Amino acid sequence: MNTNQQTGTCLRCHRPLTSPRSIANGYGPTCARRIRAAANTADLTPYDARQLDSARELIEDAAIIPLRSQVFTVVSTDGTETYLAHPAACTCPAGLKARPDRRPCYHTAAARMLLAA
């Protein structure tokens, strides 16, 4: 047995990860597949294509971490700030400016994708 093998924990199901690719992604292959499929089933109509791409990138970079049942900690684009995101609201500057006549921030799209998985 190789004792130098790195391990991690899946951000979605909390199972151990041993594959270097899974450790880098933060998700095991099954959870990653479910998250990609969830992007097709979650209600993402308020978001434009650019926001959806940013939400997918946020998930792929493991920059959105479950905190409570529907609340996530998200890392800002430049990596200097963290915010709390929920499928309906976010504490980022764009999320704080959200109104019914404006688009919600992409952090909420990522939260919706993860919860649909």
For the chain, the structural domain boundaries read 8-116
Q: Is 112 left (phi over 0), alpha (psi -120 to 50) or beta?
A: alpha
pTM exceeds 0.85? no
Q: What percent of the chain has pLDDT over 70?
A: 95
Query: Is a pLDDT exceeding 50 seen at residue 1?
Result: no
* Exposed / middle / buried, residue 56 (Cβ in 10 Å: 0-12, 13-18, 19+): middle
Which tens digit of pLDDT belongs to each residue from 62-107?
Answer: 899 999 889 999 999 888 999 999 999 999 998 898 777 778 899 9
Inter-CA distances, 37 with 25, 31, 116, Å: 16, 10, 9
CB-CB contact of 32 with 25 (8 Å): yes
4: enclosing H helix or E strand: none
CB-CB contact of 105 with 94 (8 Å): yes
What is the distance between the alpha carbons of residues 54 and 75, in angstroms, rounded to a whole number? 12
